[in-house]
């Protein structure tokens, strides 16, 4: 589409059911009660001049440009702050109003640089537009004093702040407060001396509390806050709506383009997941797409010790096909497998699992969800009947009590965290269960009622103790349980949790959570109104990950917190398409739609569509593929968009498995760590270069649209199709929409999904079928998908990973806002200014015992391995617990994580590793040689780029 700014109705939409009719400029308009006169006029098609108002923020009424006349009212009220009333008669365009507005605008412009023609925002500036709208031609005033010539703040890597252009409308301040919830900006001073300031502690944005979400930049009506790329490239000429490729919130953006260059990503107001908001990653961190280290030509090598050799696509795919065929003939078809990616589209993921099942002839396909949310799939399917969260994000607006366990949304799911914080600021209560004092525990205007800082690895014990409190204190919603759940199973569960050994007091020594706190939190969740549970990898990445998910489900069912808005069980998904990758049949035991491979009727459906016989036996999971490789029976793997060497636990074991294979095909953007063990490298395409869909944590299927030509020549689905063709398969998809049509034919929960519908409706939440033609924002409304909700007894079983004299501390891991996963993308953007390296958080007592200060190098050692990194001494972690992130390959935090995993799904136990910390002189030998290797690779890449 050609460039059009997003529509702006001036003030937020009102939600009242009551309708009010008024007359504006002689035309009748009917709007919900609570609507402003400004919005009512805009909905009728009349645009009232405005500067301080925008429809993402509550009305403020400071600029006095939006004045109107109303019959029977004295003066000229501001239309943005005046609500409609029945029978009101409004005039928006009288000579008196024009004169007043002209005067107001003249005052603004007299203190504004008149450099429109050279200003970065020329043609995309509301001040300029509004000056035109009120008909301003000359400025009569010559103010004695102005704000012109003030120094710019260019400290933020992505946007500039030029105070000389500021009209002090405070849209930025309000955006930071209301939308983002960080409260980083203030208006300092009064009257003429008023100015916008990025906090007290710092005189610039970079040093302030600002988290670079971009909400203020988007809200600014002038060029005061402006993206550096707009200044560099120019204002956009066209826009394409697409979906963020980072986290599972699934924000939609307008990719605003000038020619073939991406100028900026602007959050799309109509996006139902993000409602016009964004975080630093989706908004700004897309520079990796053009990074000089991207590999754009296919490469092969006979041995992993040989140098890479660039070849044509045809040669690379022919070589890959010949190797896969050779290995299948020589070792049998079970020697082959594939890994799908939660970063790729549904269509790409579907094709990779189809290639494995229909091409390789086995079910050896797995996905990176194995190492994050596989327990969610197992736990929620067992208890509720569906492997997915129960709510849409909007639902949080009706929550009275929010329980966050094992998740750090302000870092991991920032846009949803902003919505959650907004609800908390309006009065909802908060319970945080986390070993670490995350930002949510206390942030501006938010304080958790209860922070249960449990010992890592004791989630099940804490949840069982909460259940004990709820059952023994008579807080169960028996009517709900009797009607909706299996009563016999409930009674078994209730008598189990009621046992004295499961009381908060009995478990306190294990959980380290004071029993009184735990009881109070349980009472609040059970009795505080609508209770919603949000959880993350701090729940799943444990040896009892699946048990914890089921313990959460038990709690929600026992309290009747399922099946309506404001309640529910909500896994916050890490990667953009974790939900989709699981939905698409990426697990070795399930076809698309979570149907077991052993089910003959389901297999027959796929066999008819694909024209092949399918293996009825579940295939190998990732860790089993690696074990089979070291045992010499698994020889070839196709890995799309996944760096298992860095992201999977026990790096040495992963390396040994990969090294034992004869054909490792890596299909990715960069030569990642796994590619060190690859024989064939197929260049991947970014989300900006492809069409398809992602499914977010709300089960929301959203379009991904190609905004530029793939630098490597092909979208990823095309590469998989070419590989399939090279293997002799008759695949002829012309567009990903045809792949989605096939998914819809084969998957009942996707039956009503098509690209045409997504184009018309923006997004759809599965299931979308005859029973739910418009999709399903909330699940289990009239009954559980499995029939009766199933209570499962979840006995606490301590992990085998124990602390002792050699490894006395417990390491837990997580992520940070500015970085994403193994950092392959974000490390190649300016986001590194916020997080250059992974740091080890250690409590002051543990640090002092070891003679460690903030900034010191420390050795982090476990039974599996060791690494070094710098320490930061902080009370965010409890004594006995240390914490780090895993974004940088130089640290390779997974060198120390162990092989322990969830009993049901093999999801690794990343969150509990017994470690010792000791002072160190600096990086280990392997880290130094790795750093050298990286810097020489960078030099070569730079030199090649320069040529």
| Least distance CB 279 / ligand SF4 (angstroms) | 3
Tell me how long the chain is.
Answer: 947
> How far is it between the farthest Cα atoms of the chain?
91
256: which 2 tokens? 């605003």
Distance (Å, whole) CA 220 – CA 230: 14
DSSP type of residue 463:
H
| Binding-site partner at residue 80 among ligand SF4, ligand FES, none, CB < 5 to 8 Å by type | ligand FES
Residue nearer to ligand SF4 on the CB measure, 249 or 743: 249
Distance, CA of 564 to CA of 366 (rounded, Å): 33
Which of 37, 57, 66, 522 binds ligand FES (CB under 6 A)? It is 66
The nearer residue to ligand SF4, 274 or 511, going by C-beta atoms, is 274
Ramachandran region, residue 597 (left: φ > 0; alpha: ψ -120 to 50; beta: rest): alpha
User: Beta 866-873 vs 857-862: how paired, if at all?
Assistant: antiparallel
Place of tokens 């897309």: 286
Q: Does 264 bind ligand SF4 (CB under 6 A)?
A: no
Rule CB under 6 A: say whether 507 interacts with ligand SF4.
Answer: no
Given 44, 56, 62, 391, the residue binding ligand FES (CB under 6 A): 62
Q: Which of residues 620-659 bind ligand SF4 (CB under 6 A)?
A: none
Enumerate residues 6+ apart whose C-beta is below 8 A from 815. 408, 411, 412, 574, 821, 885, 886, 887
Nearer to ligand FES, 222 or 438 (CB): 222
Write out the binding residues for ligand FES, residues 392-411 only, by CB under 6 A. Answer: none
Please name which of 657, 695, 694 lies closest in space to residue 677, comparing C-alpha atoms. 657
Q: Residue 744 touches which of ligand FES, ligand SF4, none (CB < 5 to 8 A by kind)?
A: none
User: Where in 32-51 is the site for ligand FES (CB under 6 A)?
Assistant: 50-51
Site for ligand FES contains 476 (CB under 6 A) = no
Total binding residues for ligand SF4 by CB under 6 A? 40
Closest CA to 840 of 862, 819, 867: 867
Task: Return the one option of ligand SF4, ligand FES, none that residue 63 interacts with (CB less than 5 to 8 A, by type).
Answer: ligand FES
Beta pairing partners, 668: 683
Nearest-angstrom CA–CA distance, 779 and 387: 11
Q: Per rule CB under 6 A, is residue 788 in the interface with ligand SF4?
A: no
Among 22, 31, 57, 65, binds ligand FES (CB under 6 A): 65
CB of 42 or CB of 497, closer to ligand FES:
42
119 near ligand SF4 (CB under 6 A): no
Contacts of 625 (CB under 8 A, 6+ apart): 337, 364, 366, 634, 637, 657
Q: Find the part of the chain contacting ligand FES (CB under 6 A) among 56-64, 370-378, 392-400, 511-519.
A: 56-64
Distance CA 464, CA 476 (A): 14
Examine residue 790 and tell whether it contacts ligand SF4 (CB under 6 A).
no
- Phi, then psi, of 921 in degrees rounded to 5: -85, -10
What token pair was written down for 310? 């660039």
**Contacted entry of ligand FES, ligand SF4, none for residue 211, CB cut-off 5 to 8 Å set by kind:** ligand SF4
Binding flag, residue 175, ligand SF4 (CB under 6 A) = yes
The whole-angstrom separation of Cα 24 and Cα 42 is 10
How distant is the alpha carbon of residue 181 from its chain centre? 17
Residue 244 binding ligand SF4, by CB under 6 A: yes
If the CB atoms of residues 62 and 547 are measured against ligand FES, the closer one turns out to be 62
| 917: partner contacted, choices ligand FES, ligand SF4, none (Cβ within 5-8 A by kind) | none
3-state DSSP assignment of residue 787 = strand
Whether the bond between 505 and the residue before it is cis, its omega within 30 degrees of 0, is no
For the chain, the distance separating the N- and C-terminal CA atoms, rounded to the nearest angstrom, is 36
Q: Which of 338, 312, 310 is nearest to 324 (CA)?
A: 338
Specify the 3-state DSSP secondary structure of 193: helix
Q: 695 and 583 in contact (C-beta within 8 Å)?
A: yes
Shortest CB 821 distance to ligand SF4, Å: 11
Q: Does 57 bind ligand SF4 (CB under 6 A)?
A: no
* One residue of 40, 97, 230, 247 binding ligand SF4 per CB under 6 A: 247
**Binding flag, residue 63, ligand FES (CB under 6 A):** yes
Instruction: Decide which of ligand FES, ligand SF4, none touches 53; Cβ closer than 5 to 8 Å per partner kind.
Output: ligand FES
The residue among 323, 319, 325 whose CA lies nearest residue 361 is: 325
Please tell me what DSSP assigns to residue 769: B
* 222 sits near ligand SF4 (criterion: CB under 6 A): yes
Part of the chain binding ligand SF4 (CB under 6 A), chosen from 99-107, 242-250, 378-386, 596-604: 242-250
Buried b (16+ CB within 10 A) or exposed e, 188-216: eeeeeeeebbbbeebeebeebbbbbbbbb
The entry of ligand FES, ligand SF4, none that residue 65 binds, CB within 5 to 8 Å by partner kind: ligand FES
- The nearest distance, CB 293 to ligand FES, in angstroms, is 47
Site for ligand FES in 80-99 (CB under 6 A): 80
Q: Determine, following the binding rule CB under 6 A, whether residue 22 of this chain makes contact with ligand SF4.
A: no
Q: Of the candidates 225, 299, 701, 778, which one interacts with ligand SF4 according to CB under 6 A?
A: 225
Binding of ligand FES by 283 (CB under 6 A): no
**666 forms bridges with which residues in the sheet?**
639, 681
Binding marks (x or -) toward ligand SF4, 280..319, rule CB under 6 A?
Answer: -xx-------------------------------------
Write phi, then psi, for 278 (nearest 5 degrees): -155, 170
Which one, 215 or 526, has the nearer CB to ligand SF4? 215
As beta bridge partners, residue 252 has 243
State which H helix or E strand residue 519 sits in: helix 515-527
We find the least distance from the C-beta atom of residue 144 to ligand SF4, in angstroms, to be: 22
Q: β-strand 252-258 against 238-243: which pairing, if any?
A: antiparallel
Q: Do 814 and 436 form a contact (C-beta atoms < 8 A)?
A: yes
Among 131, 215, 551, 658, binds ligand SF4 (CB under 6 A): 215
Please pick, from the candidates 279, 402, 524, 539, the single residue that binds ligand SF4 as defined by CB under 6 A.
279
Options 94-102, 173-181, 388-396, 652-660: segment touching ligand SF4 (CB under 6 A): 173-181
The whole-angstrom separation of Cα 635 and Cα 658 is 9
Stretch that binds ligand FES, among 16-24, 61-69, 753-761, 807-815 (CB under 6 A): 61-69
* Pairing, β 89-91 against β 913-919: unpaired
* Interface pick for ligand FES out of 40, 78, 550, 723 (rule CB under 6 A): 78
Are 89 and 23 in contact, with CB atoms under 8 Å apart? yes
Residue, CB closest to ligand SF4: 282
The piece of 54-62, 164-172, 395-403, 921-929 that touches ligand SF4 (CB under 6 A) is 164-172
Q: Is 105 in the site for ligand FES (CB under 6 A)?
A: no
Give contact residues for ligand SF4 (rule: CB under 6 A): 166-172, 175-176, 180, 182, 184-185, 196, 210-216, 219-220, 222, 224-225, 244, 246-247, 249-251, 274, 278-279, 281-282, 413-415
What residues line the site for ligand FES (CB under 6 A)?
A: 50-53, 61-66, 78, 80
């Amino acid at each position: 589409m050609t460039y059009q700014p997003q529509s702006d109705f001036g003030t937020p939409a009102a939600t009242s059911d009551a309708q009010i009719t008024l007359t504006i400029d002689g035309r009748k308009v009917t709007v919900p009660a609570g609507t402003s006169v400004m919005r009512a006029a805009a909905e009728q098609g009349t645009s009232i001049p405005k500067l301080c108002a925008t429809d993402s923020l509550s009305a403020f009424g400071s600029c006095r440009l939006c004045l109107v006349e109303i019959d029977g009212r004295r003066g000229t009220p501001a239309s943005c702050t005046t609500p409609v009333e029945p029978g009101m008669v409004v005039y928006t365009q009288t000579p008196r109003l024009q004169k007043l507005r002209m005067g107001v605008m003249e005052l603004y412009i007299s203190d504004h640089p008149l450099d429109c023609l050279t200003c970065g925002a020329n043609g995309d500036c509301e001040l300029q537009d509004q000056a035109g709208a009120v008909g301003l031609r000359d400025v009569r005033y010559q103010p004695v004093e102005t704000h012109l010539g003030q120094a710019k703040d260019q400290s933020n890597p992505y946007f500039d702040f030029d105070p000389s252009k500021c009209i002090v409308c405070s849209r930025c301040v309000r955006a930071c407060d209301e939308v983002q919830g960080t409260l980083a900006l203030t208006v300092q001073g009064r009257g003429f001396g008023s100015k916008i300031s990025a906090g007290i502690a710092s005189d610039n944005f970079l040093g302030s509390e600002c988290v670079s979400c971009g909400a203020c930049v988007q809200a600014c009506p002038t060029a005061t806050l402006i993206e550096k790329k707009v200044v560099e490239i120019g204002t956009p000429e066209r826009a394409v709506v697409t979906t963020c490729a980072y986290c599972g919130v699934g924000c939609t953006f307008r990719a605003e383009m000038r020619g073939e260059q991406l100028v900026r990503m602007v959050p799309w107001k109509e996006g139902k997941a993000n409602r016009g908001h964004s975080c630093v990653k989706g908004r700004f961190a897309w520079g990796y797409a053009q990074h000089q280290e991207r590999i754009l030509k296919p490469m092969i090598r006979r041995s992993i010790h040989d140098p890479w050799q660039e070849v044509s696509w045809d040669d690379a795919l022919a070589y890959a096909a010949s190797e896969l065929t050779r290995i299948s003939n020589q070792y049998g078809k079970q020697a082959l497998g594939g890994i799908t990616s939660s970063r790729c589209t549904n269509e790409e993921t579907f094709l990779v699992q189809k290639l494995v099942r229909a091409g390789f002839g086995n079910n050896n396909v797995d996905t990176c969800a194995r190492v994050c949310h596989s327990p969610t799939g197992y736990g929620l399917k067992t208890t509720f009947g569906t492997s997915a969260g129960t709510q849409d994000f909007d639902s949080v607006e009706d929550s009275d009590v929010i329980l966050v366990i094992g998740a750090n949304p302000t870092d991991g799911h920032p846009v949803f965290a902003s919505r959650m914080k907004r609800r908390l600021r309006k009065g909802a209560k908060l319970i945080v269960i986390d070993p670490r004092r995350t930002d949510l525990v206390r942030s501006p205007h938010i304080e958790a009622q209860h922070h249960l800082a449990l010992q890592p690895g004791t989630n099940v014990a804490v949840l069982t103790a909460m259940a004990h409190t709820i059952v023994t204190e008579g807080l169960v919603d028996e009517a709900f349980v009797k009607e909706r759940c299996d009563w016999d199973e409930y009674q078994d569960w209730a008598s189990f949790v009621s046992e004295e050994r499961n009381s908060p007091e009995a478990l306190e020594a294990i959980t380290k959570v004071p029993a009184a706190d735990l009881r109070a939190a349980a009472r609040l969740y059970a009795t505080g109104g609508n209770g919603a549970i949000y959880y993350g990898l701090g729940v799943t990445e444990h040896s009892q990950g699946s048990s914890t998910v089921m313990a959460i489900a038990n709690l929600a069912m026992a309290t009747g917190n399922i099946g309506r808005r404001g309640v529910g069980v909500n896994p916050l998904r890490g990667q953009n398409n974790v939900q989709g990758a699981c939905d698409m049949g990426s697990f070795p035991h399930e076809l698309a739609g979570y149907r077991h491979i052993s089910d003959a009727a389901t297999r027959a459906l796929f066999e008819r569509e694909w024209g092949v016989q399918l293996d009825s036996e579940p295939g190998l999971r990732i860790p089993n593929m690696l074990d089979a490789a070291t045992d010499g029976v698994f020889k070839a793997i196709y890995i799309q968009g996944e760096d298992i060497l860095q992201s999977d636990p026990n790096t040495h074991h992963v390396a040994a498995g990969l090294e034992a294979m004869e054909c490792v095909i890596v299909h990715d953007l960069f030569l990642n760590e796994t590619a060190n063990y690859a024989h064939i490298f197929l260049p991947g395409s970014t989300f900006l270069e492809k069409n398809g869909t992602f499914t977010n944590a709300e089960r929301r299927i959203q379009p991904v649209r190609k905004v530029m030509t793939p630098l490597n020549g092909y979208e990823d689905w095309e590469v998989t199709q070419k590989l399939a063709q090279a293997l002799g398969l008759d695949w002829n998809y012309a567009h990903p929409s045809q792949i989605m049509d096939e998914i819809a034919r084969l998957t009942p929960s996707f039956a009503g999904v098509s690209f045409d519908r997504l184009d018309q409706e923006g997004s759809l939440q599965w299931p979308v079928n005859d029973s739910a033609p418009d999709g399903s924002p909330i699940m289990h409304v009239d009954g559980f998908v499995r029939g009766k909700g199933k209570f499962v007894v979840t006995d606490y079983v301590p992990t085998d990973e124990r602390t002792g004299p050699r490894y006395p501390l417990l390491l837990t891991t997580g992520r940070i806002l500015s970085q994403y996963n193994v950092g392959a993308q974000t490390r190649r953007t300016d986001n590194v200014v916020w997080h250059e390296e992974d740091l080890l958080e250690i409590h002051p007592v543990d640090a002092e015992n070891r003679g460690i200060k903030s900034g010191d190098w420390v050795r982090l050692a476990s039974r599996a391995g060791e690494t070094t990194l710098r320490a930061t001494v902080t009370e965010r972690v409890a004594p006995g617990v240390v914490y780090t992130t895993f974004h940088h390959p130089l640290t390779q935090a997974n060198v120390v994580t162990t092989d322990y995993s969830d009993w049901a799904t093999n999801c690794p136990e990343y969150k509990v590793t017994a470690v010792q910390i000791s002072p160190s002189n600096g990086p280990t030998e392997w880290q130094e040689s790795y750093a050298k290797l990286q810097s020489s690779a960078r030099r070569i890449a730079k030199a090649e780029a320069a040529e």
